[in-house]
A and B are shown apart, each in its own frame.
Chain A
Amino acid sequence: MIALDPSTKKRPEFINVRVRRQDAPGEAPYWELHKIKYEPEMNVISVLQRIAAQSTNRDGKKVTPVAWDCGCLEEVCGSCTMVINGRVRQSCSALVDRLLADNPDEVVLEPMSKFPVVRDLVVDRARLFQGLERVKAWVPVDSYYNMGSGERILREDQERNYPLSQCMSCGCCLEACPQYTKIELTQKPGETDQEFEARKQAAHSEAFVGPHAISQAMLFNNHPTGKSLAGERLDALEGPGGLASCGNAQNCVAVCPKEIPLTTSIARAGRATTLHAIKKWFDK
């Protein structure tokens, strides 16, 4: 059913898959080669499923199945982000026929490089979610009781906000962003889990918050009730790791699988923080 160019219609019998593996945090990564039978309409998820089921590498040696993260397989949950043939994307929508058209020899799978590796292709994206907390990405309603309908919202506003609200926290934009650099800490001897967690949080909250969080801040600043926290969100974006860290490389918007206008959000955030700073100066 997939429309293909005639040139890609020659199908190989087998596919070579090269996986960058790592057994645990801090351990040395290594490459492993797998050979699986080609089937029509495969995506990278089904490739990984075949690898798990056969659990031998290309030389026929028994190996542990490759660990990876996935969920809905429809490109909505954001779980299965990885670097495929050098490009960050969701593995569910990475169709093997297309990948082979670009590189007929092999499919190369690597974990994202900006997050600590948990194992193989699984990375720890806690920092990404912490970014949402930093900018208070929520509407501060009074209560969860029945208080009648919300404010009327113009279609124009809904249509401006809707794309931003499709952000699935997948992390593609962060992987592509030159200013978002990896933070990987290790627990010190004698340090409790809580102390270690606190130290991690502190490190995360100084570093660049990332385009996804800036865009979410703009989403809630444009909501009739959400904007009551607009000042606090802008304060967060003015602080360390905020907007000033953005180098305007525009990579984020290029890789976003949901085509969210991230750079437009960043530009809007820039104007809003400037106005906010002037206002604060006058209010002094």
Chain B
Amino acid sequence: MAQSNSPTRVVVVGGGLAGLASTMKLTELGAQVDLISLTPVKRSHSVCAQGGINSCNDATRQLGDDEWKHLDDTVYGGDFLNHQPPVKEMAYWAPKVIELMDRLGVPFNRTGEGFIDRRRFGGTLYKRTAFAGATTGQQLLYALDEQVRRQEAEGNVRKFEFWDFLGPIQDETGRCRGVVAQDMVSMEIKAFPADAVVVATGGCGLIYGRSTMSVFCTGSAASRCFQVGAKYANAEFIQVHPTAIPGADKLRLMSESARGEGGRVWVPRTPQDSRGPRDIPEADRYYFLEERYPEYGNLVPRDIATREIFDICVNEGLSVEDDRMCVYLDLTHIPRHELDRKLGGILEIYEKFQGVDPRDEPMKIFPAVHYSMGGLWADYVKGEDGGLEAGAPRNHMTSIDGLYAIGECDYHYHGANRLGANSLLSCIFTGLFTGSSIMNYSASQKSGADDVPQSLLDSAVKAEQDRHDHLLNGNAGSDENPYLIHQELGDLMTRVATVVRRNDQLEEAIKKVDELHERAMKVSLADTGSWTNQNVIFAKSLQDMFPLAKALLKGALQRDECRGAHFKPDFKKPSLTSEDPVERRRQAEAWCDEFEANNEKYLKSTVATWNASTNQPDLAYEDVDTTLIPPRPRLYGLVGAEAIEEVWNERAAKKLAQSKSGSGLVGAN
């Protein structure tokens, strides 16, 4: 932009909440945006988000809530793996994000008086979550889609829908100068020069074959950036949502809002009780979350709920059905009218796909892969107040200069476990917040979109054309079928890398994935045509799933601990056993020593770099910024939690006193 006087040109890849929020904000700041998406942006996977979006609000403030507590719930829920400055910034922006979305026309549910209604979500004790029925993601996405359409009508946005992002274009200094993408209809491959590029392409659930994600969520866009040098962080942290409807083609989400509105999870106390759920009296029902976690009940954080449901079915043998694992999620005690008003959208899904009305009959649900907390490594600049410095060009820039990552496909905000209703917030927040950073970055560059040498664009297109042609014609003798390989990959990943992880299984899976990767590189396609060839698009995305799958498995193998969504029973910290107060105290001290030693070793982000020569990820570790809130043990449901907490608080107080006297400051935070 600096040399030529044409406006800043930004390519945004991905048209979900993050991509649309980014596009909307960038156009407001004067940029011209090329928006590239696999699907018409209105159909992006954000439409499926159901429950709501968090912010502290006027009502919760009167109960003692504030943005700091939202920050605390987020980092505590995330098991302290989140860098705290970005989370702080997000929590402090949250009320503003809700207000903006309200102004944009999102039909949030209202109280009788006309204020935005709120409900409770897991991992917090406050009613922070604003919602639009049970289709909040859909409503938020549509509001942003409408604003982008408005900007498109004004000539500020060009949409390239049904285009597949093939990779960033880098110049000799490594700076990102645009992208290469392919028209999924005509199969034309084209370069899009730009001042800066934003990747907002969501999660990678399809690595698991079946998940709650859409067919667009292959992770291939992030993988394509990873394979050309962008770092990928915390790949092993995949959230398994506690409640989903198992299905043959996909696992359909049953939002946490069902529990937020009073839904209760239970199983019959008798294994495979043959009575219908409504005929089972209260005394014969085991409300295991409520019994085991009296404070949070059905709204414990997701990692806990998921493990408990798994435990009930696998270890206790109390699954509702004998040939398939599931538990009841019961809403039948809530008045129909109330259910329709607040949860209509999701209840219809259950009704349509299962043929049972969940207003009359408890739903049968089981955990499912849901959210990628890891993603492209992204930088940030810490501000003086402990949050982020607004407008700093490095905010959310990947390790490739000029390439930004936002939304679910970056690794910030959620740590080891995502709190419900924080994902919509993180997507919109990053989209809005990075606008000025990207503009400032572009303005500081000596050359921009107009100055990208034609030869650079041509060679980038040629490399992709070669890959494409090779896929169509290069493996004539092979009979490898990409769909079948995908099934194998999905089954394997689901078996070894979801709720419970064991090192021997991970090691074995790594070998198996290497083999599958090799086989995927020589798939033979049934369709070699040059018009809407979905076969070749799928084959490419399948091949690109492997680098992420490898980073995920290797990251999981090397992390010998339990942290949030990553749970290794072999490294579980035991409960306290002694009843004797002195001995119990000693055990608590030992527990805390061990906890600190473990944090010393593992309270780090895994950062993967792709090594093209070995076809493997290389892993390194970075320290987590925990300067705002010191890490503390997450003690949900642990026997002896009070004793451990007591010891821990004494230690924390001592440390605080030491640091104060050491620095001579009084009252420092």
Residues of A within 8 A of B (CB): 1-4, 23-24, 39-43, 45-46, 49, 52-53, 55, 62-65, 67, 70-79, 92-93, 95, 118-120, 122, 125, 129, 132-133, 136-141, 143-150, 152-155, 158-159, 161-162, 165-166, 168-169, 220, 223, 225-226
Contact = CB atoms under 8 A, between A and B. Distances in A.
A73 B215 CA distance: 8
Contacts of A154: 110, 114
A119 B108 CA distance: 39
A232 to B, nearest CB: 12
9 contacts: A23-B531, A64-B535, A72-B48, A73-B214, A136-B153, A141-B147, A152-B114, A154-B110, A165-B139
A137 B107 contact: no
The 5 closest A-B pairs by CB, nearest first: A152-B114, A138-B146, A55-B526, A119-B532, A64-B527
A172 to B, nearest CB: 14
A169 B215 contact: no
A137 B149 contact: yes
Contacts of B138: 76, 166, 168
B448 interface: no
B253 interface: yes
Interface string B113-130: 111100000000000000
Contacts of B353: 43, 74, 93, 95
Contacts of B214: 71-73, 77
Nearest to A41: B248
A162 B133 contact: yes
A17 B620 CA distance: 51
Contact of B111 (A55, A74, A132, A155): A155
A168 B352 CA distance: 17
A43 B249 contact: yes
Identify which of B99, B112, B250 gathers the most chain A CB atoms within 10 Å of its CB. Answer: B250
Contacts, number: 197
Nearest to A74: B252
Contacts of A159: 341
B215 A2 contact: no
B291 interface: no
B28 interface: yes
Contacts of A162: 107, 132-133
Contacts of B352: 75, 93
B43 interface: yes
B657 interface: no
Contact of B105 (A1, A46, A148, A226): A226
B275 interface: no
A2 B216 CA distance: 27
Given A3-B356, A165-B107, A225-B105, A76 B249 contact: no
Given A93-B353, A149-B102, A118 B107 contact: no
A1 B364 contact: yes
Interface in B81-119: 96, 99-100, 102-105, 107-116
Given A4-B355, A158-B108, A64 B529 contact: yes
Nearest to A216: B146
B341 to A, nearest CB: 7
Given A138-B147, A162-B132, A147 B249 contact: no
Given A71-B214, A77-B214, A137-B146, 20 more contacts: A43-B248, A45-B249, A55-B481, A62-B526, A64-B527, A67-B534, A71-B215, A73-B250, A74-B349, A75-B352, A76-B47, A122-B532, A132-B146, A138-B146, A144-B28, A146-B100, A152-B114, A155-B112, A158-B107, A169-B43
B9 interface: no
B546 interface: no
Identify which of B107, B185, B248 gathers the most chain A CB atoms within 10 Å of its CB. Answer: B107
A133 B153 contact: yes
B526 A152 contact: no
B4 interface: no
Contacts of B490: none
A139 B146 contact: yes
B99 A65 contact: no
Contacts of A146: 96, 99-100
Interface string B59-97: 000000000000000000000000000000000000010
Interface in B138-189: 138-139, 142-143, 146-147, 149-150, 152-153, 185
A77 B43 contact: yes
A71 B364 CA distance: 24
B135 A76 contact: yes
Contacts of B116: 149
B349 A75 contact: yes
Interface of B: 24-25, 28, 39-40, 42-45, 47-48, 96, 99-100, 102-105, 107-116, 132-133, 135, 138-139, 142-143, 146-147, 149-150, 152-153, 185, 214-216, 247-250, 252-253, 341, 345, 349, 352-356, 364, 432, 481, 483-484, 487, 526-527, 529, 531-532, 534-535
Contacts of A62: 526
A281 B614 CA distance: 76
Contacts of B153: 133, 136
A227 to B, nearest CB: 11
B250 to A, nearest CB: 4
Nearest to A154: B114
Nearest to A125: B40
Contacts of A144: 24-25, 28, 100, 147, 432
A144 B22 CA distance: 11
Contacts of A136: 150, 153
Nearest to A62: B526
Contact of B345 (A42, A166, A225): A166
Contacts of A125: 40
Given A1-B364, A161-B107, A165-B107, A77 B48 contact: yes
Contacts of B102: 149-150
Given A46-B248, A55-B526, A71-B214, A133 B149 contact: yes
A13 B466 CA distance: 43
A169 B355 contact: no
A71 B38 CA distance: 10
B42 A24 contact: no
A87 B47 CA distance: 25
A150 B100 CA distance: 8
Contacts of A64: 526-527, 529, 535
Contacts of A225: 103, 105
Contacts of A42: 248-249
A120 B44 CA distance: 22
Nearest to B353: A93
B105 A76 contact: no
B48 A76 contact: yes
Contacts of A41: 247-248
A49 B253 CA distance: 21
Contacts of B535: 52, 64-65
Contacts of A149: 99, 102-103, 116
Contacts of A150: 99, 102-103
B149 A168 contact: no
B124 to A, nearest CB: 22
A168 B39 CA distance: 13
Contact of A53 (B48, B253, B349, B483): B483
A56 B352 CA distance: 31
A46 B249 contact: yes
Nearest to B146: A138
Nearest to A158: B110
Nearest to B115: A152
Nearest to A165: B107
Nearest to B135: A166
Given A118-B532, A144-B28, A226-B105, A129 B114 contact: no
A53 B96 CA distance: 48
Contacts of B99: 146-150
Given A62-B526, A144-B25, A138 B150 contact: yes
B47 A77 contact: yes
A223 B105 CA distance: 7
